[in-house]
Structure 1
Amino acid sequence: MKTGDTSPDTRVANLLDQVNPSTTTAELIEILARGENIRVERIVSQGHSSDAGFWYDDPSAEWVMVLSGEAQLRFLVGDKLVHLRRGDHITIQPHEKHRVEWTQPDERTVWLAIHFLPLSYTES
């Protein structure tokens, strides 16, 4: 892209590329795209879980799909535990408190997450 060029990034990328084990134990969160009221992320986890006592309480909805690996989410209401495998997806509503209980310790879990405001939140 030339300096001053504001055209969108049109490079081709693969969500499963460059997901080899590395020397870091940090969870990788990569923003792939964003716009008004939407954000698309690739998340790579291995042996990760939310900190004790921590609950996500996002103001936006989140659609998440497991592309590889496995994970478990826990929801505060009803203490519901959801196991996700490759290809599984779930929509988490705004302010639906949840946490990551577990991701596979011996294999990378790759997530595709789309954060957005549901139409009922944006249409008034």
Structure 2
Amino acid sequence: MTITYGWRAGFDNAALDTLHAAGFGYAAQGIDWHARLARHSLGWVCAHRGEVLVGFVNVSWDGGVHAFLVDTVVAPDARGHGIGTALVAAAVSGARAAGCQWLHVDYEPHLTQFYVESCGFGPTAAGLLAL
């Protein structure tokens, strides 16, 4: 399986909406991802197998030195091949090249091995408030 990764790579809105929905377990919502990313993101990384979008991660930021990983997702049929780890590595490179000094990520406990052991993040204490 040949996968290509691209920082701020082009993508089809419907394909990203479908990938995101499949990865997070809800119906596609018709989100305008191009507009959302233009408003809130430093960049993003797309993983393509040929023309098919199989992975995505969004890198939002504060406009300064802090960037944040959001929405790391790999298509269910493409998991287990290192795509998620490669997406995060490309996001780290993109954020570093943009001058960010910190890359934050929040994750649920079952993803600790992925983010800490596979991707190299250090665990931190954080707070969360449901709105």
Greater relative CO, 1 or 2 (CA 8 Å, sep 6+):
1
Q: Which has the higher strand share?
A: 1
Q: TM-score, normalised by structure 1?
A: 0.30
Q: TM-score, normalised by structure 2?
A: 0.28
Q: Which has the higher helix share?
A: 2
Max Rg structure: 1
